[in-house]
Structure formats: C-alpha cells, structure tokens
Amino acid sequence: MAASDHIVGRGPNAGARVFSGLMPRAEAVAIPLGALLAGFLAFSLFLLFLGKSPAEFYGLVWKAGFSSAFSWQNTLSRVAPLIMAALCVALPARLGLVVIGGEGAIVLGGLAAGVTGTHVAGPLGMVLMALSAMVLGGLWIGAIGALRIKRGVNETISSLLMAYIAIALFNHFVEGPFRDPGSLNKPSTAPLDAALRVGEMPFIAAHWGVAAGVIACVLCWILIDRTTLGFAARIAGDNIRAAQVQGLPVGPLVIGFTALGGAWAGLAGFFEVAAVHGSANASLIAGYGYTGILIAFLARHNPLAILPVAVLMAGFEASSGLIQRRMDLPDATILVFEGMVFIIILLSEALYGRLRIFSPGYWESR
C-alpha cells in the first residue's frame, strides 16, 4: 500500500502508470515491427546500390500482393502450406528445439494422402487421407524429437538431413511401388477421384486449407497459452533442467510437440495433393517447409502471429513475378529481400529486455 502510494505520488501524470503497464507488452509488437521496417530500409539500400527504385519495388509488392481482389486471391492461395509449415517450426521451438526439416513431413504427408486416396472413397475417405498424412508427418518429426530426448541427437541437423531422406523416399515410392502406370513422363501416384478433391472456399478464391490453417493456429495457441500442458512446455522451453527438477514430463512433451508440429506439416502435404495437384508427384517438393522457418521466427513462434506473418510472406512471394517482369530483376530478388528481413529479425532478438523505454521502471521514474 505504502509502496504504490509512493509510486503514484512520484509520477508527474497518470499516463505514466498506463505506460508502465503497457510498454512491456508493446515490446513484443514494436521490436518485430521495427525489425521489419529496418529490413525494408536495408533492402532499399540494396536496391539503390543496384540502381533500382525502392519505391517501385514496394509499390509492386503492394500491387501484386494486396491491392485488389485478384492480388488477395494470389496471396491467399499460397498461404495454407506456409501456415502449417510454420507451425512445424513454432511448436518445437516453444520447447527450445530448432526443427528446420518440415519439408520432409510435407512431402511424406502428401505421399500418404496420395496413396491412401487410391484406396478409399467418399467424405470418410478424405478424412482418412488427411489422418494418414498427419500420422506420417507426426511420426517423422516426432522421431526427431525422440532422437533428441533419447539419444541427444541435435534436432536441427537431424531434421535437415531427414528432410533429404524424406524426399529421396518420396521419389522412390512415387517412381516405384506407387507409380500410376499411366503417368509416363511425370511419375505420379494414381489421380484422385473428383470426390476426394478439396474445393475452394466461398468468397475467397483459395482452397479449404486456409481455413484449416487458421483453425490449426488457434488450436495451437490455446494449447500453448491456455492449458497446463502448454504451461509445462513453456517452462521446459525456458529451462529444461528446472522443468526436469520440477518433475515435468519433458520427454513426452518434446516428443508430443514435435509430433504435433509434424502432423500439421503432413496436413499441408494432404492439402497440396487433394486441393492443388490431384496426385502425389515431384511438384510437391516446392520448398514450403523452408519458408515456414522464416515465418515462425518472424512470428516469434506465437501461433496467432503466424497468421498475419504468413499472409505478409505470401504477398511478398506473390509479387516475385511482377518484380521480375516490371523491374527486370532476377527471381532471387524476393529471396534476398526475405533473407535480409530474416537476419535483422534474428538480430533484433538481442534487443528484448535491453531497451529501457519498454521497462516499467523507465516510465515510473518520470
């Protein structure tokens, strides 16, 4: 009582109190946004160095990604696999694991969906396809978590290497045992029945994977922020030893979270097969798993933040073509752009807790 009187008494105005409560929360928004802006600025310098106009660049990004109904269609139609791939990074990251091999779970999920799809029918068949994709993706990334816990294998290295194995296995099965004999020059699994294809959502010209991605993010946010399981996972992520001393089930948590992340990535593979390609083939290996890493880090592994960041990233990628055509820049331009933003975001991690304006004490002392 006396202490709070003391603080209020020293503050020159009531606003300071509001700031002292608000600013620590604002930190989580202001630093990533600031880093994003710094990334835009750094890339502008890069463009000026090349003799190109940054204004034209950002204008085209806006035009191609966000300016019209068609732009939004272009952006949203790419977003579903990105959201799910990002969850495959974000969930293990909450336990302190850096898993970068989501691509493997996506292609294996696609394979499982494609193969299951040739044996089932009807709406239940579609559910089975999705489940098989989630199970295989979950097993694949869950195994990485298990290797980490049981054998101390570095999950970053093992997930990356296992992604290569997954792609090799995928190619083997698509070109060998599960090849549709009719797919002569592009080995694929048998084409899916029309009843097993996922359609487009009403109002937005994007398939139902987008809705599934939004639901997945909300579920994961509830899991992490609103359940005791999520609380235990966050404790283990902050300090694994302390969590073990407290008797938290660190092993099952790690395996469970990695498996869940893998299951979402597997579901991305299912939607790619059932909504876009209509069969599993090498076109599935499109690098979504790697863009997902960038999105998860930008979102600071917060499932809800993944949604806007994934839309932003999809918009950037949607503009890649227009930038090639209008500015005569190579297609790698957008990758350089994303890379610069990514590095600055990583650097900005060092700022948390260091900027005095975000500490309650700074405002209280005014």
Partner 1 sequence: MSNLTRPNRRRFLGTASAALGAAATGSLWQPGAARAATPLTVGFIYVGPKDDFGYNQSHAEGAAAVKSMEGVTVLEEENVPESQDVQNTMLSMINFDGASLLFPTSFGYFNPHILELAPKNPEVRFEHCGGLWSEGNPTNAGSYFGYIGMGQYLNGIAAGHATKSKKIGFVAAKPIPQVLNNINSFLLGARAVDPGITCQVIFTGEWSLAVKEAEATNALADQGCDVITCHVDGPKVVCETAVSRGAFVCGYHADQSPLAGDKYLTGAEWNWAAVYTDMVRKTIAGEAIPNFVRGGLADGFIKMSPLGPANSDAARKQFEAVKAEIMAGGFAAIKGPLKDNKGNVIAADGQAFVETDVALESMGYLVEGVLGSTS
Does position 330 interact with partner 1 (CB under 8 A)? The reply is yes
Residue 153: strand, helix, or coil:
coil
Does position 64 interact with partner 1 (CB under 8 A)? The reply is yes
Does position 103 interact with partner 1 (CB under 8 A)? The reply is no
What is the DSSP track for 174-219?
HHTTT--TT--SS-BPPPPPGGGS--BPSSSSSBTHHHHHHHHHHH
Which window, 32-40, 42-50, 105-113, 281-289, contacts partner 1 (CB under 8 A)? 281-289
Backbone angles phi, psi at 181, to 5 degrees: -60, -20
Rounded to a whole number of angstroms, the minimum distance from the CB of residue 130 to partner 1 is: 19
Rounded to a whole number of angstroms, the minimum distance from the CB of residue 149 to partner 1 is: 33
Site string for partner 1, 130-169 (x = CB under 8 A): --------------------------------------x-
Backbone angles phi, psi at 207, to 5 degrees: -75, 170
Place of tokens 């003391």: 6
Q: Is the Cβ of residue 68 or residue 244 nearer to partner 1 in the bound state?
A: 68
Q: Is the Cβ of residue 38 or residue 282 nearer to partner 1 in the bound state?
A: 282
Residue 253: strand, helix, or coil:
helix
Kindly tell me which residue out of 74, 116, 132, 159 binds partner 1, with binding defined by CB under 8 A. Answer: 74
Kindly tell me which residue out of 56, 225, 238, 331 binds partner 1, with binding defined by CB under 8 A. Answer: 331
Backbone angles phi, psi at 208, to 5 degrees: -65, -10
The single-letter DSSP state of residue 105 is H
Rounded to a whole number of angstroms, the minimum distance from the CB of residue 184 to partner 1 is: 5
Kindly tell me which residue out of 249, 321, 339, 360 binds partner 1, with binding defined by CB under 8 A. Answer: 321
The single-letter DSSP state of residue 284 is G
Kindly tell me which residue out of 282, 304, 336, 351 binds partner 1, with binding defined by CB under 8 A. Answer: 282
Does position 283 interact with partner 1 (CB under 8 A)? The reply is yes
The total number of residues written for the chain in this structure: 366
Question: How far is C-alpha 22 from the geometric centre of its chain's CA atoms?
Answer: 28
Instruction: Tokens for 52, please give them.
Output: 């190109």
Buried b (16+ CB within 10 A) or exposed e, 178-197: bebeebeeebbbbbbeeebb
Kindly tell me which residue out of 1, 2, 124, 184 binds partner 1, with binding defined by CB under 8 A. Answer: 184
Catalog residues that contact partner 1 under the rule CB under 8 A.
63-64, 70, 73-74, 77-78, 168, 171, 175-176, 184-187, 272, 276-278, 281-284, 286-287, 317-318, 321-322, 324-325, 330-332
